[in-house]
């Protein structure tokens, strides 16, 4: 069996290790031993190298097998093969197939957490990672609290919502340092009114206003995974960058992880758009002292000053309700929770009637009495 | 100008005197005079019965008169002549309201006197005119007079209850109440909808970020100016509004003790 994956085992009892956000250490579920990320990195440096070597060997073996299958007329189509990856579980030996972008997962048969290093080698290795700070119990509790006070939430939705299936995912992000510079022209106006005899006089004084400058941005994030909806990933921002760490696979055991499948170039449009809107509003905010301001011209240039590849911690739960998908995401570092919930139309119109009817009756009575 | 006016008045007197022979010869409970011949006998009978009942119930006589034309005079002048004719010649009460139509000129005048001035305020006469003018404009004479008599009945009843119809009284009318209820219902629905939409907005929290304020440093302004461009001055003629009695309610009474509301239909 090719050793093409890294299986972080407890040095004391060989049980699987998980990264625990609260302690910031890798912990063994079986004997309770705890190890720092540095200790495990040192201990498994050789394993990781072997895994990478094994990964290469395995790729060669797969090529050979592919040729044999082709000879037998049993080949996967190119499209099918492109989107898949195979590996063997080091704990139970199951031959497993996963998505080509999957970088960390767990065995569906024995639950053994596994990191697939081939996904994070060479140019694919992330620069930074923010480790999970909140554990699954906290995520479940946060989601339960999120449901509270949502008066339009259908009762049956909560019952059919398998909250325990929430998963911790390291989502790939591009973090872009950039600068926007340029100028804008505005027309400012002040209005003064007074009365002279039988005439109302209105005086409007106009000003030409110019602003020129630049605005620097540090690590604007944009998710680099097509699997993750952009709106959800944008909404769980911001992350606390003070807790960014140099990337290590030791942070991954116990969580899912994906490698990026949206290129830097493809992400740049969204980054530039956000930076452009920010400088527009910042420039506009400097135009003060006028009762009316209209924008006449804006011209800004974008400069990319460097992009970093990072993995960000997000707890996710995807659930289906009446044929529709509802996705919840929680920032695994700050606990910010967002998501779309179904609306019970009966409850919506019920509340509408409960407010409108008594209000209409009371205000009508007051009108008639007065 | 004055000569013309005197001639007009004299003509009106002659006209009234002439009319008195034919129409006012019998004032035994007659309150509707159709000298222009625009109503059928049945309509006159019905309207007269109604006017008589109202006049007797509230001790304020209610008249409706049609005339072929003014012959150069004014509607209010003609109406004052008619008042003298009715009161001095035929012994009508001085507490009175008269609606007169001059058909050739399509002019009308409402005259009130005595207790009529208390009941039929300037604003009340305006509202009354609004109610019958749409019918008269369509040559619907019977319903126009009917509306006039209904309004007289309504205002006389309100006056009898101690609150003559005037500015601010509309809240008591059915139409005003209906309008108020309608407005209250619409406003209540809007408030309820806003509250529901606020709760509904909490159900969808995933939104694309459009700005990057969390990641920006301070704006570095390298150049800026605010330069005067030009100045526009606009002058609008707006004379002070006359504060007549209408705005504050009440009845405007002339030297002869009459109040009027005249116009075209």
Say which residue the tokens 């680099």 belong to: A224
Q: Indicate yes or no: CB of A356 within 8 angstroms of CB of B188.
A: yes
Q: Please count the other Cβ atoms lying within 10 Å of the Cβ belonging to residue B26.
A: 9
Cβ atoms of A221 and A333 within 8 Å: the answer is no
Q: Name which of A355, A358, A361 to mutate to probe chain B: the one with the most chain B Cβ atoms within 10 A of its Cβ.
A: A355
B243 lies in some domain: no
Q: Choosing among A236, A304, A367, which should be mutated to test the B contact, i.e. which has the most B CBs within 10 A?
A: A367
Strands of the sheet with B96-102, listed across from one edge = B32-34, B61-67, B96-102, B107-113, B258-264
Strands A337-339 and A324-331: antiparallel
Tokens found for residue B108: 């009308």
Residue A25 neighbours by CB distance under 10 Å: 18
Q: State residue A287 phi and psi, 5-degree precision.
A: -90, 95
Instruction: Pull the structure tokens for residue B126.
Output: 């305006």
List residues bridging with A214 in a β-sheet.
Answer: A181, B220
Domain containing residue B165: CATH number: 3.10.310.50
Q: Is A113 helix (H, G, I), strand (E, B) or coil?
A: strand
B51 or A72, greater pLDDT: B51
- Six-digit token string for B14: 């002659």
Chain segment B1-20, per-residue pLDDT in tens: 433 443 444 444 445 444 54
Q: Between A206, A213, A341, which is nearest B203 by CB?
A: A341
Closest chain A residue to B168, measured at CA: A370
| Nearest alpha-carbon partner for B25 in B75, B98, B78, B85 | B85
Region B35-63: mean pLDDT is 93
Closest CA to A278 of A305, A300, A308: A300
Cα gap A53→A302, rounded to integer Å: 41
Q: What does the pLDDT read at residue B133?
A: 93
Would you say B82 and B97 are in contact if contact means Cβ atoms under 8 Å apart? Answer: no
Cβ–Cβ < 8 Å for A299, A184? yes
- Whether B128 is covered by a domain: the verdict is yes
Task: Please state, rounded to an integer, the average pLDDT across all residues of chain B.
Answer: 84
Q: Which of A301-305, A334-338, B148-152 bottoms out in mean pLDDT, i.e. has the lowest?
A: A334-338
Lowest mean pLDDT: which of A110-124, A315-329, B195-209?
A110-124
Cα A19 to the center of its chain, rounded Å: 19
pLDDT of residue A28: 81
Q: At A251, which helix (H) or strand (E)?
A: none
Specify the range with the lowest mean pLDDT, choosing from A90-104, A155-169, A341-355. Answer: A90-104
Nearest to B212 among A187, A274, A289 (CB): A274
Residue range(s) defining the domain that contains residue B135: 2-169+251-264
Computed over every residue of chain A, the mean pLDDT equals: 82
- CB contact set of A72 (below 8 Å; sequence gap of 6+): none
- What is A122-150 written as a DSSP string? GGGS-SEE----S-HHHHHHHHHHHHTT-
Answer for the pair A22, A135: CB distance below 8 angstroms, yes or no: yes
- The residues spanned by each domain of chain A are 17-125, 139-339
Q: How far apart are the C-alpha atoms of A47 and A25, rounded to whole Å? A: 19
Cβ contact B76:B111 at 8 Å? yes
Q: Tell me, yes or no, whether B209 lies in a domain.
A: no
Query: Does B32 reside within a domain?
Result: yes
Distance between start and end Cα atoms, chain A: 90
CB atoms B216 and A204 under 8 Å: no
Give ∠ CA B25-B29-B34 in degrees, rounded to 5. Answer: 60
Residues above pLDDT 90, as percent of chain A: 36
B214 touches A at CB < 8 Å: yes
pLDDT band per the 50, 70, 90 thresholds, residue A286: very high
Residues of B in contact with A196 (CB under 8 A): 235
pTM over the 0.80 mark:
no
Single out the residue of A173, A172, A174, A169 nearest to residue A318, CA to CA: A169
What angle is formed at CA B203 by the lines to CA B198 and CA B208, rounded to 5 degrees?
A: 100
Among the residue ranges A33-37, A42-46, A203-207, B216-220, the one predicted with the least confidence is A42-46
Q: Which residues contact A237 (CB under 8 A, 6 or more apart)?
A: A221, A331, A336, B209, B214
User: How many domains would you assign to chain B?
Assistant: 1
Query: For the ranges A51-55, A71-75, A355-359, which has the lowest average pLDDT?
Result: A71-75
Q: What is the pLDDT of residue B148?
A: 96
The 10s digit of each residue's pLDDT in A121-165 is 666 788 999 999 988 888 888 888 888 878 888 877 777 667 767
Q: Which residue has the higher pLDDT, A111 or A200?
A: A200
Model pLDDT, residue A4: 43
Are β-strands A199-223 and A337-339 bridged in parallel, bridged antiparallel, or unpaired?
A: unpaired
| pLDDT tens for each residue of A250-273 | 888 888 888 888 999 999 999 999
- Chain B contacts of A153, Cβ < 8 Å? 203
Residue B63 — φ and ψ, nearest 5°? Answer: -120, 150
Is 0.85 exceeded by the ipTM?
no
């Amino acid at each position: 069996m090719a050793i093409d994956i890294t299986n972080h085992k407890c040095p004391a009892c060989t049980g699987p290790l998980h990264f625990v956000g609260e302690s910031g250490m890798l912990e063994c579920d079986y004997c309770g031993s705890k190890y720092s990320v540095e200790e495990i990195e040192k201990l498994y440096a050789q394993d990781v190298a072997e895994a990478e070597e094994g990964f290469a060997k395995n790729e060669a073996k797969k090529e050979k097998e592919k040729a044999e299958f082709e000879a037998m007329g049993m080949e996967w189509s190119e499209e099918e093969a492109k989107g898949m990856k195979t590996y063997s579980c080091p704990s139970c030996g199951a031959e497993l197939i996963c998505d080509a972008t999957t970088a960390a997962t767990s065995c569906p048969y024995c639950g053994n957490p596994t990191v697939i290093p081939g996904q994070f080698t060479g140019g694919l290795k992330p620069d930074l990672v923010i480790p999970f700070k909140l554990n699954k119990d906290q995520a479940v509790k946060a989601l339960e609290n999120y449901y509270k006070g949502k008066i339009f939430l259908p009762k049956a939705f909560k019952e059919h919502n398998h909250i325990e299936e929430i998963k911790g995912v390291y989502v790939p992000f591009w973090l872009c340092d950039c600068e926007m510079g340029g100028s804008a022209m505005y027309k400012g106006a002040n209005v003064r009114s007074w009365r002279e005899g039988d005439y109302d006089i209105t005086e409007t004084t106009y000003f030409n206003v110019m602003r020129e400058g630049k605005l620097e941005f540090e690590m604007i994030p944009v998710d680099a995974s097509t699997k993750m909806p952009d709106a959800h990933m944008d909404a769980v921002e911001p992350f606390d960058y003070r807790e960014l760490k140099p990337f290590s696979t030791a942070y991954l055991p116990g969580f899912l992880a994906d490698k990026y499948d949206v290129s830097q170039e493809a992400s740049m449009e969204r980054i530039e758009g956000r930076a452009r809107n920010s400088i527009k509003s910042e420039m506009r905010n400097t135009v003060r002292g006028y009762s009316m301001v209209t924008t006449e011209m804006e011209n800004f240039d974008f400069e990319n000053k460097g992009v970093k590849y990072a993995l960000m911690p997000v707890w996710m739960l995807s659930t289906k309700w009446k044929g529709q998908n509802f996705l919840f995401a929680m920032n695994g570092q700050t606990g910010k929770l967002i998501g779309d919930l179904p609306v019970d139309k009966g409850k919506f119109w019920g509340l509408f009637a409960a407010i409108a009817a008594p209000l209409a009756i009371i205000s009508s009575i007051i009108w008639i009495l007065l | 100008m004055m000569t013309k006016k005197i001639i007009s008045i004299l003509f009106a007197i002659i006209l009234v005197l002439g009319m008195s022979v034919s129409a006012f010869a019998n004032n035994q409970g007659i309150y509707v005079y159709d000298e222009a011949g625009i109503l059928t006998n049945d309509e006159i009978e019905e309207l007269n019965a109604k006017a008589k009942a109202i006049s007797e119930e509230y001790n304020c006589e209610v008249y409706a008169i049609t005339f072929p034309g003014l012959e150069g005079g004014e509607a209010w002048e003609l109406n004052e002549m008619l008042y003298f004719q009715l009161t001095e010649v035929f012994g009508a009460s001085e507490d009175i309201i008269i609606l007169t139509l001059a058909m050739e000129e399509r002019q009308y005048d409402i005259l009130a006197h005595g207790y009529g001035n208390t009941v039929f305020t300037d604003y009340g006469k305006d509202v009354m005119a609004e109610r019958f003018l749409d019918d008269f404009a369509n040559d619907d004479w019977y319903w126009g007079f009917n509306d006039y008599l209904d309004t007289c009945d309504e205002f006389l009843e309100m006056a009898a209850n101690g609150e003559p119809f005037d500015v601010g009284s509309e809240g008591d009318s059915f139409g005003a109440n209906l309008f108020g209820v309608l407005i209250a219902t619409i406003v209540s629905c809007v408030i309820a909808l806003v509250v529901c939409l606020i709760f509904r907005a909490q159900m969808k929290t995933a939104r694309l970020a459009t700005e990057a304020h969390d990641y920006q440093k301070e704006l570095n302004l390298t150049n800026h100016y605010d330069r005067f461009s030009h100045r526009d001055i606009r002058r609008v003629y707006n004379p002070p509004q006359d504060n007549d009695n209408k705005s504050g309610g009440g009845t405007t009474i002339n030297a002869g003790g009459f109040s009027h509301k005249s116009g075209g239909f």
